[in-house]
Amino acid sequence: MAAAACGGEAAAAAAALCAFSPRDRRFFAISGPDGRLRVWETANSRLQQEYVPSAHLSAACTCLAWAPPGGRPPPSKDGPQRKKRKSEVAEVDKQLDILAIGTAVGSILLYSTVKGELQSKLDGGHDNKVNCVRWHQDNCCLYSCSDDKHIVEWNTQTCKVKCKWKGDNSSVTSLCISPDGKMLLSAGRTIKLWDLETKEVYRHFTGHATSVSSLMFTTVKPMNENKPFDGITGLYFLSGAIHDRLLSVWQIRSDRKEKNAVMSFTVTDEPTFIDLTVSEVKEEPVKLAVVCRDGQLHLFEHILNGYCKKPLTSNCTIQIATPGNDGDSTPKPVPVLAAAFCSDKQSLLLVYGNVLQPIIEKVSLNTTESHICLIRDIQKVLSLKTDVAVTKVKTPVVNSDTKVLVPGVPGHSTAVKTPSSGKEKKKNKRKPGETEESIEERLGALDIDVSKVKTPGGLPQTDSFVVLLVQGLESNDAEILNRVLNTRKEHVIKNTVARMPIHAVIPLLHELTKRLQGNPYSASLMVRWLKSVFTLHASYLSTLPDLIPQLGMLYQLMESRVKTLQKLSRLHGRLFILVTQVAASEAVQDVTEVNQTAKLVYEDESSEEEGSDDEMIADKDSDENWEEDEEKEEQSDEQDMTVEKEINGDSDLDPENESEEE
């Protein structure tokens, strides 16, 4: 459990960004997850300044860098001021400490710890998160890299971009300026050495498998003093990467063939803070202090003299733990946030504890032991600091007749008890002879029968619903919201919406919109609340300037459902007809068929005789008509014969012939 707790604290510490001031490590700046920048004095662990950027939540701090000592300060945003005396200028130059703060939106803030205010803001260089900022030896020049793959050179006097070029095909995560100020190291995964005059790549290095998080030069002069020094050849530099437990050391050589690391240092976890002492002489070893994500501090000491195949382990590991005072309590590890070498290179500044309230301690180095565990009682130290601090909060004297308004739902008040004196406390103590009431009796005395409580006027009491609704919206408690919003009584819903405070209307609409997207059962309940809210609070909603974007989701949701209403109604009608037809056909099939054959047939005789007489009459009429037709045909034939004879010249004058023929 202790290890898990330490792991959570160490992870939170790793998320914090911190840096020591270059002047004798006098100040320590740290920016936590809350976006606030705090500057602490290392001598007495006292908070000197606290700066909250205007956009500390949307544009969180991503990197920090102190300006190097000397140089000209950036211009103030207040414009030209009166001319200062020489003594004032010397004093300001002595105390000048500027912090460059990179943000997640691509802007860079320049904060003055002397004035305690924002000096200037650098905009227009990056359009993505700033990963690293580095000051040039000349104070008016600043370099930055970003996720937009570019490196920007800034002029802090004019607050404008001096030069911008593409540094890599992916994000550029770290920068470092050479000791002579003519070269620049940049790294994403691969490491490049740039010539600042021509902005061209001078050397390539293999780099790491993951994004490089730190770059720094370890030497200022080459180890081989026989050859002439051009300012860069022969120097060593160190690099560390995220999720990588190896710190690599690289050497800049005259030939371009060697691109791999010459040696490496191994640590227990990902490095989060690195500090070192620069080697100025050939025989002087480089001292390295590495703080890891697991809260441990590793110290290395090595003379850089060429290639080393095997990774080097730490000479000393420092851990901090709390003392186990009682028999049951176990010591808990305390994470180390940062460490830095002092000017004498024999002592170390340790920053450990909480990000919001760190403890800074100076420790002398003892590398004879390979593992050192420092016992520190953090709670005792913090309690001493709290006792020393003078509080400015005064408790008002409250009379019995005074009515105190407390924050909450309008119409609700809580009983305020006046502070009792010492004599009353003594009277309230239980006497030795008296018996103490059990917990069950106390709970029974607190029980209230709801049925006995009568509400004035017989109206439903919705105060409890209003209080529960406001509490549920503020705490986002699903159980409380379900208890309130699942009610079906219309009058309870109307009274609750009418008595709720104005500031809770918009959160209630957001909650109802979220629940409308669920199952149809919950949507049917939420529509009742929506109707009451829009009916009772329409005047307030109409005054909101940003009502359309706030209710855009609800409008789109209702619009999408209304669009399908016509199609669903048509489909409902067709399905109703089909279901009705199927039911009717099934009902017809269930009915038994009726036998339609006649059980009795009756025939009438008179009707048959009449019918036969009619038939006989009809037959006689047809025979008579036939004989008349034959006679007419014979007459017509005789006439035809006489006409033919006349034509042929036959005469009827000869009676003999006629008689003969007859």
Q: Do 338 and 326 contact (CB within 8 A), yes or no?
A: no
Q: Nearest to residue 291, comparing CAs of 315, 263, 317?
A: 317
- In whole angstroms, what is the distance from residue 115 CA to residue 119 CA? 9
- In whole angstroms, what is the distance from residue 244 CA to residue 236 CA? 20
Question: How are the residues of the chain apportioned to helix, strand and coil, as percentages rounded to the nearest 5?
Answer: 35, 25, 40
Q: Do 310 and 263 contact (CB within 8 A), yes or no?
A: no
DSSP 452: G
Q: Nearest to residue 93, comparing CAs of 70, 66, 68?
A: 70
Backbone angles phi, psi at 183, to 5 degrees: -125, 155
What is the number of residues in the chain? 662
Q: Nearest to residue 145, comparing CAs of 172, 181, 106?
A: 172
Contacts of 347 (CB under 8 A, 6+ apart): 341, 362, 363, 364, 365
pLDDT of res. 631: 63
Torsion of CA 501, 506, 510, 513, to 10 degrees: 90
- In whole angstroms, what is the distance from residue 236 CA to residue 222 CA? 8
Say whether 25 sits in a helix, a strand or coil. Answer: coil
- In whole angstroms, what is the distance from residue 61 CA to residue 51 CA? 12
Both tokens assigned to 240: 């560390």
- In whole angstroms, what is the distance from residue 63 CA to residue 70 CA? 22
- In whole angstroms, what is the distance from residue 320 CA to residue 171 CA? 36
Residue 477's CB: how many other CB atoms inside 10 A?
13
Q: Do 391 and 373 contact (CB within 8 A), yes or no?
A: no
pLDDT by 10-residue block (mean), the chain, 662 residues? 47 70 88 86 89 76 87 51 48 63 92 89 92 86 94 92 92 93 92 93 91 92 74 90 93 80 92 90 88 94 87 92 72 92 89 91 84 86 57 55 58 48 46 64 61 44 75 86 86 89 88 79 82 87 80 78 81 89 82 68 62 55 58 64 56 46 40
Q: Nearest to residue 462, comparing CAs of 437, 489, 439, 425?
A: 489
Q: Do 170 and 188 contact (CB within 8 A), yes or no?
A: yes
Q: Are strands 191-195 and 98-103 parallel, antiparallel or unpaired?
A: unpaired
Q: Do 287 and 303 contact (CB within 8 A), yes or no?
A: no
Helices (H), 16-132: 86-95
Q: Are strands 246-251 and 17-20 parallel, antiparallel or unpaired?
A: unpaired
pLDDT of res. 96: 59
Tokens 């000096």 identify what position?
A: 119
- In whole angstroms, what is the distance from residue 229 CA to residue 539 CA? 79
Query: Distance from CA of residue 379 to its chain's centroid?
Result: 34
Q: Do 274 and 289 contact (CB within 8 A), yes or no?
A: yes
pLDDT of res. 570: 86
- In whole angstroms, what is the distance from residue 462 CA to residue 483 CA? 13
Backbone angles phi, psi at 513, to 5 degrees: -60, -40
- In whole angstroms, what is the distance from residue 74 CA to residue 68 CA? 13
Contacts of 157 (CB under 8 A, 6+ apart): 72, 74, 75, 140
| Per-position DSSP letters for 279-312, written without gaps between them | B-STTPPEEEEEEETTS-EEEEEE---S---SPB
Angle, vertex CA 182, rays to CA 213 and CA 146, nearest 5: 35
- In whole angstroms, what is the distance from residue 352 CA to residue 30 CA? 12
Tokens 């050849």 identify what position?
A: 233
pLDDT of res. 215: 95
| Count of alpha carbons within 13 angstroms of residue 605, beta-carbon side | 0
Both tokens assigned to 227: 């050859």
Contacts of 37 (CB under 8 A, 6+ apart): 29, 30, 31, 50, 51, 52, 53, 61, 99, 101, 111
- In whole angstroms, what is the distance from residue 192 CA to residue 184 CA? 8
- In whole angstroms, what is the distance from residue 616 CA to residue 261 CA? 139
pLDDT of res. 619: 55
Q: Do 304 and 219 contact (CB within 8 A), yes or no?
A: yes
Tokens 């802090």 identify what position?
A: 156
Q: Do 373 and 352 contact (CB within 8 A), yes or no?
A: no
- In whole angstroms, what is the distance from residue 321 CA to residue 392 CA? 34
Contacts of 194 (CB under 8 A, 6+ apart): 151, 167, 183, 184, 185, 186, 200, 201, 202
| Count of alpha carbons within 13 angstroms of residue 308, beta-carbon side | 16
- In whole angstroms, what is the distance from residue 488 CA to residue 493 CA? 8
pLDDT of res. 653: 47
Query: Distance from CA of residue 51 to its chain's centroid?
Result: 25
Q: Is 285 exposed, middle or buried (0-12, 13-18, 19+ CB in 10 A)?
A: middle
pLDDT digits (tens, 9 = 90+) for 274-329: 999 988 777 788 999 999 999 999 999 998 888 888 999 999 999 999 887 655 56
